[in-house]
Amino acid sequence: MIDEGTVIRRNPRAVFRKLAEGAGGVLLHLDTAAYHSVNEVGALVWTLLDGSPTFGALLLDLRGRLEDVPPTFEEEIGGFLEDLGRRDLVVLSSGPALSGEDPDRASH
């Protein structure tokens, strides 16, 4: 389950390509060769993952960039990130890991 403190990191084996304006983008997992299309909000989420933000910080950043955020916004973005995690495109961890530290050990 994702919460405000969950740290989100891109899988370095995933690459992103932005499509034409308004068309979103495409993620490619280099190990599986699977393509995953994302809409404009999904493309924005991906670009905001620089620096491995927490879920709370990401939501705050998104709210500042988007208009007319729906009441289900947090659940929708959380579900999207969990789906990316299941597809091994991002890594979700329960606390900040120090640079170079094993993220699984950081929460112990």
What residues does each domain of the chain span?
A: 7-95
**Residue of higher predicted confidence among 19 and 103:** 19
Q: What is the pTM of this model?
A: 0.84
What average pLDDT does range 12-41 have in this prediction? 95
Q: Which fold has domain 7-95?
A: Outer Surface Protein A; domain 3 (3.90.930)
What is the pLDDT at residue 96? 54
User: What would the pLDDT profile of 51-102 be if each residue is shown by its tens digit?
Assistant: 999 999 999 999 999 999 999 999 999 999 999 999 999 999 986 544 444 4
CA distances (Å), origin 98, targets 34, 54, 104, 107: 30, 14, 11, 11
What average pLDDT does range 33-44 have in this prediction? 96
**What single string gives the DSSP state of each residue in 2-18?**
--TT-EEEE-TTEEEEE
Q: At a CB cut-off of 8 Å and minimum separation 6, what does 65 contact?
A: 44
